[in-house]
Chains A and B, each alone.
Chain A
């Protein structure tokens, strides 16, 4: 079974803090994704990566950056957290032309 893990299930941070969300997959997938999920808005793509050190902006990249130094790990970085970044963050991975597999999500609260 594909396994996608996220470093934290719940996270509470203060405005202005730098926040790191980590995602690890164990299936040697080329592609990895970060989404945020908000009520009534569904899932929106923040960034994705199709190879190590490669990244592409999704639909809502503002206020976020990403890092992919190793194939199995994809990090989402909030350089200076703001209250409007309070959300559920979901990571996903996929091999080319295959289905996306999702992690359990990180619920982030920014105070």
Chain B
């Protein structure tokens, strides 16, 4: 079975600073990988996804992530954070199979706080 680890429960970053959120996964084959963001009281919004091809993936809101097979990682980055980026971020891995990527396993999330 697949699993996802987000080792940082809470990260605080100054506005304008760079950001990297860590995600490690466990899966026997090449996975589908996702990053979602959740603002307080809201559902999840997809930031970006990796299915195949280029291992550096660009997403919305200036985010990017890099798939590193050798490290089983899919870290999320942003060069300069904005106060509106304060939210909770979830990494997820999808199992390939008859149902494709439909079954996702989520990490426990990283809460991002932005300070002025």
| Chain A positions near chain B (C-beta within 8 angstroms) | 4, 31, 33, 35, 40-45, 48, 50, 58, 90, 92, 94, 96-105
Contact = CB atoms under 8 A, between A and B. Distances in A.
A97 B101 contact: yes
A100 B90 contact: no
Interface string B76-112: 0000000000000010100000011111111111000
B44 A102 contact: yes
Contact of A99 (B41, B43, B49, B99): B49
5 contacts: A40-B108, A42-B90, A43-B106, A44-B106, A103-B43
A92 B45 CA distance: 11
B109 A42 contact: yes
Contacts of B25: none
Nearest to B98: A50
The 4 closest A-B pairs by CB, nearest first: A102-B43, A97-B100, A42-B108, A43-B106
Contacts of A43: 44, 90, 92, 104, 106
A42 B102 contact: no
Q: Is the interface of A mostly helix, strand, loop or mixed?
A: strand
B49 A45 contact: no
Interface string B55-92: 00000000000000000000000000000000000101
B89 to A, nearest CB: 11
Contacts of B90: 42-43
Contacts of B43: 4, 90, 102-105
A33 B103 CA distance: 9
Among B9, B41, B90, which residue has the most Cβ atoms of chain A within 10 A? Answer: B41
A105 B44 CA distance: 9
A42 B107 contact: yes
A31 B102 contact: yes
A102 B106 contact: no
Among B34, B99, B105, which residue has the most Cβ atoms of chain A within 10 A? Answer: B99
Contact of B102 (A44, A48, A104, A105): A48
Nearest to A59: B105
